[in-house]
Amino acid sequence: MNRDKIIKDLVNKWINKAERDLLTAERELSFEDPITDTVCFHCQQGTEKYLKAFLVYHQIYFPKTHSIMDLLELCATIDSSFKDELGDADNLTDYAVEIRYLDVLIEPGIEDAKEAFEIARKVREFVVSKINPIHNE
């Protein structure tokens, strides 16, 4: 298997996992009484995976991290518009780990969950537009 094919496959795997995170968030938001911490968690996870897909596409090493800002900064080394266009995505970082533990008092409301979903969708559109050629081949 050639290198381009390996990269394309890996990028698509990251994107497909990210898509499932956003689908989970969207489905949960469709309920009358959504579980907002679950929505926010999956929005963060999807955002993280889209950014990692972009980095894989450009063969940029990234450390194991849930920090959206760290990932945005790495993406900005290739395309400076990432930090300008997606800076608000860093608001999702706290939903990666902290929200899952009992000793941290992050209790997102419905508006927080909707905002997280909108940010994640914006990240998806932005990243996919940047890697569209490889994603659709």
Cβ–Cβ under 8 Å, residues 90 and 68: yes
Exposed, middle or buried: residue 10 (CB in 10 Å: 0-12, 13-18, 19+)?
Answer: middle
Q: Is 94 helix (H, G, I), strand (E, B) or coil?
A: helix
Exposed, middle or buried: residue 25 (CB in 10 Å: 0-12, 13-18, 19+)?
Answer: buried
For domain 3-132, the CATH architecture is: Up-down Bundle (1.20)
pLDDT in tens, 81-106: 999 999 999 999 988 876 666 565 66
More confident residue, 90 or 136: 90
Q: Give ∠ CA 112-26-37 in degrees, rounded to 5.
A: 40
Would you kindly state where each structural domain of the chain is located, as residue ranges? 3-132
**Is residue 76's pLDDT more than 70?**
yes
